[in-house]
Chain A
Amino acid sequence: MPNSLTDRHEYPGKLFVVEGIDGSGKTTQLGLLAKWLSAEGHRVFVTEWNSSALVKAATKTGKKKNALTPMTFSLLHATDFADRLLYKIIPPLKAGMIVLADRYAYTAFARDVTRGVDRQWVRDLYSFAVRPDLTLYFRVPIDVSLDRLLARRVKLKFYEAGMDLGWSANPVESFRMFQGKVLGEYDRLVEEFGLEVIDAAPSITVQQRLVRTLVTKHVETSHVEAVDDEPL
Chain B
Amino acid sequence: MTNPSEPGPGLEGGANGGIQPGRYYGRGIPYLPIEGYPGKLIAFEGTDGVGRTTQIQLLREWLEVKGYGVVETGWTRSPLMQPTIELAKSSNTLNKLTFVLLYATDFADRLEKEIVPALKAGFVVLSDRYIFTAMARAGVRGIDRPWLRSLYGFAIAPHLVFYLNIDVKTLIGRVLEARGMDFWESGMDLKSGDDIYDSFRAYQSKLLREYSSMADEFHFRVVDARRPVDKIQDELRKQVAAFLEPVEKPVEATAAP
Contacts and interface: CB of A to CB of B under 8 A. Distances in A.
A1 B27 contact: no
A120 B154 CA distance: 12
Interface residues of B, number: 34
Interface stretch (A103-111, A121-129, A136-144, A174-182): A121-129
B7 interface: no
A197 interface: no
Interface stretch (A9-17, A34-42, A69-77, A152-160): A69-77
Contacts, number: 93
Contacts of B222: none
B183 interface: no
A61 interface: yes
B84 A58 contact: yes
Contact of A117 (B30, B91, B105, B144): B30
Q: Which of A76, A79, A82, A118 has the most CB of B within 10 A?
A: A79
Contact of A71 (B97, B101, B102, B112): B112
Contact of A75 (B93, B101, B146): B101
B97 A82 contact: yes
Contacts of A82: 95, 97-98, 101
A226 interface: no
B80 A67 contact: yes
A70 B105 CA distance: 11
B151 A124 contact: yes
Contacts of B63: none
A27 B104 CA distance: 31
Contact of B105 (A76, A83, A118, A124): A76
A57 B83 contact: yes
Instruction: Identify the 10 closest CB pairs spanning chains A and B, nearest first.
Output: A116-B31, A79-B101, A75-B105, A121-B27, A1-B146, A58-B84, A118-B27, A124-B150, A71-B108, A82-B97
10 contacts: A54-B84, A55-B84, A57-B83, A57-B87, A71-B108, A72-B105, A82-B98, A83-B94, A124-B150, A128-B97
Given A69-B113, A118-B154, A121-B150, 13 more contacts: A58-B83, A67-B79, A71-B108, A71-B154, A75-B108, A79-B98, A79-B101, A87-B95, A115-B31, A116-B31, A118-B30, A121-B28, A125-B151
